[in-house]
Amino acid sequence: MSTRDGERATGGAEKTMAKPIIDSHHHFWDPASGGDYAWLSGPFAPINRVFEPKDLRPSLAANHVAGTVLVQTWNGLSETWDFIRTAEETDFVAGVVGWVDLTDPKVGETIAALKASPEGKWLVGVRHLIQTEADPNWLLREDVKRGLAAVQKAGLVYDLVPNLPQLPSCVATAKSFPEMRFVLDHISKPEIRNHGFKEWAELMRGFRPERGHVWCKLSGMVTEADWQTWKPADLRPYVLEALDIFGVDRCMFGTDWPVCLVAGSYTQVVDALRNCLKDLSEAELDQIFGGSAIEAYRLPQFQTASVK
């Protein structure tokens, strides 16, 4: 019996809260499943193992997280199908950002098939690992733009996951699709460990005119900092800049678990972000820790709890 049909877990109970906490970015994976997990080597070798719902549940309970957004890990359609089925079976997974081939002329049909499936309501967004493409302007290709139009037509979010070389194309794409909802993952991975604030901030400010339809995840920062010596003060300038560019109502909390585990525990990531946001009001914190994810992804189970 799935936990959605059976006894509710601690995270599920939190869904009755007026202002639920949503982790907008985490993953599950099995390196033996056939996916592209070659990167789980070298310094990432400690997380080269299976991560599944039971592994995340205790951290969600400890941090009062009511729901999560499960995000793709490799460019493969089979994972998208697996993830929406996982969402159907897991009480705390409130939405899935999956993968489809944007360059496929029939991508619209693929999205329609996913949404029409019994688990299709859990598909809330699409992502492609653009930082793995040789062309930093991959997003600007005509076939990709055609695919993005199909994503928009389907009412899904598109998650942008660039490194700095791809960031200008992300800004240009947001400008080209003013009616589409975008979410920028991991504040675009600034080189925190190398004090890369200036270059990153100058590029990020290009999103300012697009803040009406682009959200920013305050996630993935600990793995861009020095894994052994980072502290919240190292992250704070980047968080404050993101808040200035996008506004509180367009920023959201995410952990990037289990990737974050190479640099800190789930709770350490949560505590670090709370430290960076210590000057915000309770209402502003509610928005970042839940409201923004609910509004951007239109999470099926949380619409009545959305913070405006």
pLDDT of 4: 53
Q: Is 23 helix (H, G, I), strand (E, B) or coil?
A: strand
Residue 251 has a pLDDT of 98
Nearest to 86 by CA among 102, 72, 66, 107: 72
Q: What is the pLDDT of residue 303?
A: 78
Per the CB < 8 A criterion, the answer to whether 192 and 238 are in contact is yes
CB atoms within 10 A of CB 22: 28
Question: What's the CA gap between 255 and 238, in Å, rounded?
Answer: 16
pLDDT of the residue at 98:
98
How many other C-beta atoms can be found within 10 angstroms of the C-beta atom of residue 197? 14
pLDDT computed for residue 19 by the predictor:
82
| Nearest C-alpha neighbor of 54 from the set 98, 13, 89 | 89
Total count of residues recorded for the chain:
308
In whole angstroms, give the CA distance from residue 183 to residue 216. 6
Residue pLDDT tens, the chain, 308 long: 345 543 334 343 333 335 899 999 999 999 999 899 999 999 999 999 999 999 999 999 999 999 999 999 999 999 999 999 999 999 999 999 999 999 999 999 999 999 999 999 999 999 999 999 999 999 999 999 999 999 999 999 999 999 999 999 999 999 999 999 999 999 999 999 999 999 999 999 999 999 999 999 999 999 999 999 999 999 999 999 999 999 999 999 999 999 999 999 999 999 999 999 999 999 999 999 999 999 999 999 897 644 44
- Do the Cβ atoms of 103 and 144 come closer than 8 Å? yes
**DSSP H stretches of helix in the chain:** 10-13, 53-62, 77-89, 107-116, 142-153, 167-176, 197-204, 232-246, 266-276, 282-286, 292-297
Q: Are 18 and 37 in contact (CB under 8 A)?
A: no
Q: How many CB atoms lie within 10 A of CB 213?
A: 15
Q: Is the dihedral of CA 163, 93, 157, 206 positive or negative?
A: negative
The reported pLDDT for the residue numbered 16 is 36
Domains of the chain and any CATH numbers:
21-303 (3.20.20.140)
